[in-house]
Structures are given as structure tokens and as C-alpha cells.
A and B are shown apart, each in its own frame.
Chain A
Amino acid sequence: MTDLFWLIPLIPGASAAILLVFGTKLPKKYISFQACFAVFASFAIGLISFIGLNQGGHGHHPLIKNLFPWIHTGSFKIDLSFQFDPLTAIMVLVVTAVGFIIHVYSIGYMADDRSYARFFQNMNLFTFAMLILVMSSNMVLMFVGWEGVGLCSYLLIGFWFEKHSAATAGKKAFIVNRIGDAGFLLGIFFVFIYVGSSEFAAINEAIGGGQITQSMATLIAILLFVGAVGKSAQIPLYVWLPDAMEGPTPVSALIHAATMVTAGVYMVARMNLLYTLSGTAGNIVALVGAVTAVFAATMALTQNDIKRVLAYSTISQLGYMFIGCGVGAYAAGIFHLYTHAFFKSLLFLAAGSVMHALSGELDMQKMGGLKKYLPRTYPTFLIGAIAIAGVPFLSGFFSKDAILTSAFANGQYLVWALGISGAVLTAFYMFRLIFLTFHGKERLSPEVKAHLHESPPVMTVPLMILAFFSIVAGYIGLPVVLGKNVNWIEHFLHPVIAGVHEVHLSIATEWVLILISVAVALFGIFMAYVFYMKKPQIPHNLVARFPKLYKLLFNKYYVDEIYEATIINPLVRGSEVAYKHFDLKVIDGTANGSARAAGVFGKIFSYFQTGLLKDYALIFLLGAIILLGYLLF
């Protein structure tokens, strides 16, 4: 049964194809059933394969299924082949499990939308592409999946395409992604040059065999990381993610929290041998991740749109995952990916539930005191917030702690410091969100209040499931202080992530670090409580005292405006110039000119067409004479 793992991407793919062709003619109930069942079937097969992996001891050699040779020209070979190893197993389970829950949630959320079939077709297509990405056994097929999720991201962000801002956001996401993909492609090209094949097995062999020097590895690693920066929204290519909130909330939960944006992290973890070999690249990854983590967190402090706060939070948490991978603790990075998938999608879906209850309102300044009206949404939201803040015993604590401890252990003190600052900010802005939305005075508008209602079970049950996992998911990676072999996830991923030298800190240092993390999280929550519950005038005073700073943060450091002025505007102006002077004048001129030339020639030749018999005969004769002359001489 484990051998059927290659079906995992194909089932949602088939469902997407069916919905594409027949979607509008099928009844809604059937569409819901097929779409969700497809993802569930993938999850089931993934689970069985995962169990098989554990029992069969396949850990050390990934299962590979070569579906068919795709491009074979000379020595250039690319096959359509999937692989299944521990890393893939975790990713598949996360994608399909969270994906299934979100599909079920969408049945309720998108129930009144008129493009119901298109939504589920796009969601299934996304699942298909994402699964190809994580299950491919070579870089080119992974890139196919990479591009596929980019495409689906565009389709889903711009799902309500009649809205201008949504269409623009979709375009922005695709274009910014594309910039990253250029780097990724260059990286693949270099892989082909130095290794001769893009299969992960071949690459790892080449690295192990010493064919790749450190400088080669650095080059490839940095280029690939450029792609990851685009896909996983790190500095400087993060600008698309906040705008991507124009899409429906389930889309934000699935794509921009749990799965697509984590593709970059997966890629770095998959190429871990490369990043370990090149120390420089790893440092760059960690540094970019750390700076992004703090940078995004500062922007989340001032946003009033509930989804934007979560978007910046996602960028920030992705930074943490890259910290983990950058310092060599790839297992920790993947661990955080896994826990983050649960609590971030929970947060997004819960935010969607709040919006649904408030008939689409997303400005937190118009919320407040919703605690008593949303008895099922509130607790789940709270659990998600606690998890992300890093409070002990919930999942976020374990994964974040693993990352920060590894950073400290590997001597990256700057990265650790940035990570800790990010943790404070994270706790602060999450609880700012909680307090503004659910506690305090009600600032609702009257019409919204009139329609206020809790969401239907099809939406709240997924929330509860995700909340449950947000609590327990962390127990697969307990810190070393509690025992030698309790870090199950690290052992599980050990065959895939080899060669990282384990740095062990003393038990005392580890306990100190844990306590610092906890203290920092609680401090953040306490400060949020003070600012927004006890003394609400503090935020107002701060804004009044530092208006420029507030404006800077509120306008997201004007990054979008800077990009617009320095990159986009020149390109647009340049292409306008090119259009006016080259396209219109030269190319159209040539086309029109050749038509005019044909006309002129035609006019000239029409003088010979007098219609008179004799003139035609004369020309015959001339022709005959010339021919005769040619034959004679």
C-alpha cells in the first residue's frame, strides 16, 4: 500500500480537471463532496504511506516512483518521478490534513458565492500543484509545482476579479513571485551544470562525493534562496503577501499561512546538504529570516485590518522558520512549519468566522466586545493566539523554542536576539488583536450588530479541530532538557537531514533559554493587556508623542511606494517609450509599409493590364524572344 504514494498528487489533480470541465453543471453538494473527498483521499494514502515508512525502516532510502521519462535529450534527463521520505511525509500530511479541514470550512464560507465550482476547482488545483512540489524527486518537477502554486495563488487571490484591488493584488503576487523564480531557475541551471542531473539523490551524492566546492554551493544556495524569498515572502519580496488578503479567507488560510508560503522553507530543508556545505548561504538565510521576523512584526503592531495583522504575522513566522534552517537546525524549521500550519490557519479561519459574523467587517476599530456573541469562535481564536505567542504547553512554544535554542547553540547571538525581540512583538500584537476584537467596549455599527450571529457548525467544527492540534501538535518535538530521546521529529527527519553537527548546550543554559522565551512571551501579553485593556489612553498618547514613527509603521515603511517609484514607474515609462517609438513606428511601420509597397507595385504592374489583346500578345512575343535567346546562347 505504501507503493501507491504516487497517487497522492494525482487524485486532487483529477478532481480539479473534472471540476474545470463540468464544474458549472454539477450541483453544489456534489462539488463540495468531491473536492473535499479528493483531499481526504490524498490524506488517507499519505497517512498509510507514512505508517509504512515508519515500519518498513525505509527511512534511509527514499521511496521513488518514476512515472515516466519526461525529457530525454542526450545527457539531459528529467523524469516525472515522485519520492516519499520522512520530510515529504510530514509535508504531505500537513498539506492534506490542513487542506482538508479548510476545504470543509470553505463549504460554509463560500456557500453564497456564485463561482462556487471555480473556487473548489482552484483549491484542488492548488493542492495538486503543492503536492507535486513536495513529492517530486527532482528539482525541475519541483519547479513545476512551484510555478503551479504561484499560478493558483494568482487565481485565488484574484478570485473576485471584478474587484479592481483583488485583480491588482493577484497580479502583484504573481509578478513578485516571478522575480524570485528567476533566481530559482538560475539555481537549477547551475545545478545542472555542476551535477549533471536535477534529481535530489544525485545532488546529495555529488555533495557527499565532494564534487561541489564551497563556492559552487554558495552560488547555488543563494540563487535558490532568492526563489524562496519570493515564494515565502521574506525581505525584499514580501510585499505581495499583505495585499494577498484580498482573496477569500480560506485561501489566505491555506495558501498564505499553511502551505504555499512554506514551500521555500521546504526547499531549503530539502537542499540541506547544500546549505550546510556553504556556511555563508546558511548565515544569509538565517539573517534574512531574523530581520524579516522583526521587521514584519513591527508592521503588524499598527495595522487595523484583522487579516493584515495575520499576514504580517505570517511573514514574521516564516522568518523564524528560515532562522531554523539557516543555523543548521532544519528539523526545527520544519517543526515550526508544521505547528505554524495549524495555529496560523486556525487564526485565519477564525478571523474569517468573525468577518462572517460581522457581515464582512474587517476593521478592528469597528469591533470589540464580541466575546459573548461568538461563543465558539472566541475560544478557538484565543487558543491560536496563545499558541503563536509561545506560551508553554502549546505547540508554538515547542517549535519556536527549538529554533531559538539552536540559534543560540550555534553561536548566532545576533539572530537569537532578533528572534527574542520578534517573540515579544508577536505576543504583543496578537493579544492586541484579541483585546481589540473580543474585549472592551463595543464599537460595532448598528446594522452589523443587528445581523450578528455565530457561524454555522460547518465552519466552527474545523476551528475546533485545528485548535486541538494547535495544542497537541507540539508534543512530537519536546526539548532535550526533558530527556534524551523525546525529540521525536528530529529523529524522524534524521535520514533526510544529515551531517549537521549537533551542538549541545549544558542543561542549565537550555533551561535559562527556555525561561527567557517564556518570560518574553508573557511580558508581551501583559503589555498588550496594559495598553488595550487597563489604560487604553496609552496607545493614543504614544501616537501623539511619536507621530512620525507611527506614520512610518502604519504605512508599512513606505516600501510599496519606494518600489513603485524606483522600479515599477521607470519600467512602465520605459515600455511606453518603447511602445511609441519602436513598436508603433518601426514594427507597425514595417508591416504597413510592406502593404503599401505591395500596393505601389500593384499599381505599377496594372499599367500593363490594358485589356487589349495586342498588348498581351506583344508581351508573349517578348517572352518568347527572350526564352529563345536564352536557349540559343
Chain B
Amino acid sequence: MAHFLFFLLAIISVGAVLAMIFSKNQAHNALFIILAFLCLGGLFALLDAPFIAVVQIIVYAGAIMVLFIFVIMMINLKEGVPPERKRWTVVLSLLIGIILVIELILAVTGAFAPPQAPGAAELANPSNLGKLLFTEYLYPFEITSILIIAVLVGAIVLVKKKDTE
């Protein structure tokens, strides 16, 4: 069952990203990516991370992508932008990408070892995560909150229309 789910979700997510590459319409691109994120959320759930899976769907697919769609609507291009015309850049990037993926796979070769039974990890439910968040990872937590405030203010300041224009 798990295997089946895994392969299903994997294929759908890869397919969604591929479709994004070949599509010309930006709104379509965004929608395909939302699909990909949903699949990823499923994958997270498969990996015994329910909280993160839900966060991924709510924040990523829900908030961030909606932001993207807002901007796409604001920009309101009449026609889509065709993908890269020049052949050689495509080939070059493909080449480099393949090198990258080979390296990455080699990097995880160590993971081909027989799967050791995962030890008794704690359940990844919100209360356990919360405990960790507020004890061991307190500093990153606080700093991230400051980051969010900065982003809020920054985004508003950036986009505000100047009064004298």
C-alpha cells in the first residue's frame, strides 16, 4: 500500500513539474506547482510527518502560491512568454543538471544500504514538535519571528506607491 502511494505521488509530482516546464501560460504554471506541492504534502505524510505535511499544504500551497497568483493577476500579461528559444542554453542547462543529479544520487549511494529499522523516534505530533521548538530551537524560532516582521514591513515599504509621483 505504502509503495503504491509513494509511486503514485512521485509520478504525479514529477509530471506536474514537467508540465510546468512545457506550459506557456503563467497561471497554468502556478496551478501545476500547486499540484506538485499537494503531492509533496502527501509524501511528507507517508514519512510520518503529519504536522509538517499539513503545514506544507496550508502555507506553501495555500498561502505562497496564492501570493504568486495574485502577482500574476496584477501583472496581467496579455500573452504568455514562450520558453527559451536559444537551443544551446537549454542543452547546457540540461547537461549541467544531469551532472548535478548524478552527483546527488551518488551522494545518497550510502543510503542504498539495507534499511536499518528506524529506532523508536517520538511521534511527530504537534506537542512533541512544540516541545523541541521552544527548548532546543528557541533561538531560531525567535529570530524567525523577527524575520517575518521585517518581511512584512519590507514588502509594504517596497511596493507602496510614492505620494509625489
Asked if the two chains touch in their complex, CB atoms less than 8 Å apart, one says yes
- B-binding residues in A (CB < 8 A): 614, 618, 621-622, 624-625, 628-629, 632
Closest to B106 in A: A632
Q: Given contact pairs A625-B103, A628-B103, A628-B107, enumerate 14 new A-B contacts (beta carbons under 8 Å).
A: A614-B89, A618-B92, A618-B96, A621-B96, A621-B100, A622-B96, A625-B96, A625-B99, A628-B100, A628-B104, A629-B103, A632-B103, A632-B106, A632-B107
CB distance from A363 to the nearest CB of B (A): 86
A625:B100 contact, CB within 8 angstroms: yes
B100:A624 contact, CB within 8 angstroms: yes
Across-interface contacts of A622 in B (CB, < 8 A):
96
Across-interface contacts of A614 in B (CB, < 8 A):
89
Tell me the complex Cα distance, A614–B96, Å. 13
B76 at the interface (CB under 8 A from A): no
Q: Is the interface of B mostly helix, strand, loop or mixed?
A: helix
CB distance from A621 to the nearest CB of B (A): 6
Q: Is the interface of A mostly helix, strand, loop or mixed?
A: helix
Across-interface contacts of B99 in A (CB, < 8 A):
625
Complex A-B: 20 CB contacts under 8 Å: A614-B89, A618-B92, A618-B93, A618-B96, A621-B96, A621-B100, A622-B96, A624-B100, A625-B96, A625-B99, A625-B100, A625-B103, A628-B100, A628-B103, A628-B104, A628-B107, A629-B103, A632-B103, A632-B106, A632-B107
Across-interface contacts of A629 in B (CB, < 8 A):
103
Tell me the complex Cα distance, A621–B100, Å. 9
B82-117 to A contact mask, C-beta < 8 Å, 1/0: 000000010011001001100110110000000000
Tell me the complex Cα distance, A625–B92, Å. 14
Tell me the complex Cα distance, A622–B103, Å. 12
Tell me the complex Cα distance, A632–B110, Å. 11
Closest to B99 in A: A625
- A-binding residues in B (CB < 8 A): 89, 92-93, 96, 99-100, 103-104, 106-107
Tell me the complex Cα distance, A97–B7, Å. 113
Tell me the complex Cα distance, A628–B96, Å. 13
Tell me the complex Cα distance, A618–B92, Å. 9
Across-interface contacts of B92 in A (CB, < 8 A):
618
Across-interface contacts of B104 in A (CB, < 8 A):
628
Tell me the complex Cα distance, A614–B84, Å. 11
Tell me the complex Cα distance, A618–B93, Å. 8
Tell me the complex Cα distance, A614–B107, Å. 26
Closest to B84 in A: A614
Across-interface contacts of B106 in A (CB, < 8 A):
632
Across-interface contacts of A632 in B (CB, < 8 A):
103, 106-107
CB distance from A240 to the nearest CB of B (A): 77
Closest to A628 in B: B103
Across-interface contacts of B103 in A (CB, < 8 A):
625, 628-629, 632
Interface centre among B89, B99, B103, B106 (most CB of A within 10 A): B103
Tell me the complex Cα distance, A625–B103, Å. 8
Closest to B104 in A: A628
CB distance from A608 to the nearest CB of B (A): 15
Tell me the complex Cα distance, A402–B80, Å. 119
Tell me the complex Cα distance, A629–B107, Å. 9
Nearest first, the 8 A-B pairs at minimum CB distance are A628-B103, A621-B96, A625-B100, A625-B99, A632-B107, A632-B106, A629-B103, A632-B103
Tell me the complex Cα distance, A618–B99, Å. 13
CB distance from A624 to the nearest CB of B (A): 7
Closest to A617 in B: B93
Across-interface contacts of A628 in B (CB, < 8 A):
100, 103-104, 107
CB distance from A356 to the nearest CB of B (A): 82
Across-interface contacts of B107 in A (CB, < 8 A):
628, 632
Closest to A631 in B: B107
Tell me the complex Cα distance, A629–B99, Å. 10
Tell me the complex Cα distance, A625–B102, Å. 10
Closest to B89 in A: A614
Tell me the complex Cα distance, A148–B93, Å. 76
Closest to B100 in A: A625
CB distance from A174 to the nearest CB of B (A): 69
Tell me the complex Cα distance, A621–B92, Å. 12
Across-interface contacts of A621 in B (CB, < 8 A):
96, 100
Closest to A627 in B: B103
Tell me the complex Cα distance, A464–B96, Å. 104
CB distance from A610 to the nearest CB of B (A): 12
Tell me the complex Cα distance, A614–B89, Å. 10
Tell me the complex Cα distance, A624–B106, Å. 15
Tell me the complex Cα distance, A621–B89, Å. 14
Tell me the complex Cα distance, A618–B89, Å. 10
Tell me the complex Cα distance, A624–B103, Å. 11
CB distance from A357 to the nearest CB of B (A): 86
Closest to B109 in A: A632
Closest to B93 in A: A618
CB distance from B110 to the nearest CB of A (A): 11
CB distance from A160 to the nearest CB of B (A): 69
CB distance from A625 to the nearest CB of B (A): 6
Tell me the complex Cα distance, A622–B92, Å. 11
CB distance from A447 to the nearest CB of B (A): 83
Tell me the complex Cα distance, A628–B89, Å. 22
Tell me the complex Cα distance, A281–B110, Å. 90
Tell me the complex Cα distance, A243–B118, Å. 102
Tell me the complex Cα distance, A625–B106, Å. 12
CB distance from B81 to the nearest CB of A (A): 14
CB distance from A599 to the nearest CB of B (A): 30
Tell me the complex Cα distance, A628–B103, Å. 7
Tell me the complex Cα distance, A624–B101, Å. 12
Tell me the complex Cα distance, A624–B107, Å. 13
Closest to A629 in B: B103
Tell me the complex Cα distance, A1–B44, Å. 100
CB distance from B70 to the nearest CB of A (A): 22
Across-interface contacts of A625 in B (CB, < 8 A):
96, 99-100, 103
Tell me the complex Cα distance, A624–B92, Å. 16
Tell me the complex Cα distance, A628–B99, Å. 11
Tell me the complex Cα distance, A622–B97, Å. 10
Closest to A622 in B: B96
Across-interface contacts of B100 in A (CB, < 8 A):
621, 624-625, 628
Tell me the complex Cα distance, A632–B92, Å. 23
Tell me the complex Cα distance, A470–B143, Å. 95
CB distance from A143 to the nearest CB of B (A): 68
Tell me the complex Cα distance, A614–B88, Å. 13
CB distance from A11 to the nearest CB of B (A): 70
